[in-house]
Amino acid sequence: MLLLADAVAVLHAGAVLFMLTGSLLALRRPGLLWLHVPVALVVLGLYLTGSDCPLTTWELALRERAGAPGYDGGFIGHYITDPLGFPIGATSTQVGVLVIAVLPNLAGYGLLVLRSRRPREHPLRSPATSR
């Protein structure tokens, strides 16, 4: 059971990384937007409503079933901010987490919008052959 709890924690870390970088990855592979947009909306909804992430709930339940201690709070606080000395409950930490989550996504989606507005060159015509 403990191995399963650890696997869920690794999955959770992957989901967090994808949440942070998904729009930037979509610059190379636009099909990833079909996965990133729903993930981002769910994470945003959980954050705005103060709800617990289902992956955290699942991890903690597996740890409890294995007889291992759980932890208070959420995944980000337990594994990232608290060990770095930034208590997740502090307003400055909350603002920092929000900025770190939003900035790469704004950059990625902004670049995707700019790219979509750029005129496309016809694949059979290059500047050298169109003369």
Say which DSSP state 14 is in: H
DSSP 72: S
CB distance 70 to 29 below 8 Å:
no
Contact 75, 53 (CB under 8 A): yes
Which pLDDT does position 19 carry in this prediction?
A: 94
Question: Cα separation of 5 and 83, whole Å?
Answer: 20
Per-residue pLDDT of the chain (131 residues; tens, 9 = 90+): 999 999 999 999 999 999 999 999 999 999 999 999 999 999 889 988 989 999 999 999 999 999 999 999 899 999 999 999 999 999 999 999 999 999 999 999 999 999 989 887 766 765 665 55
- CA distances 68 to 18, 54, 83, 117, Å, are 28, 19, 20, 53
Indicate the SS3 state at residue 47.
helix
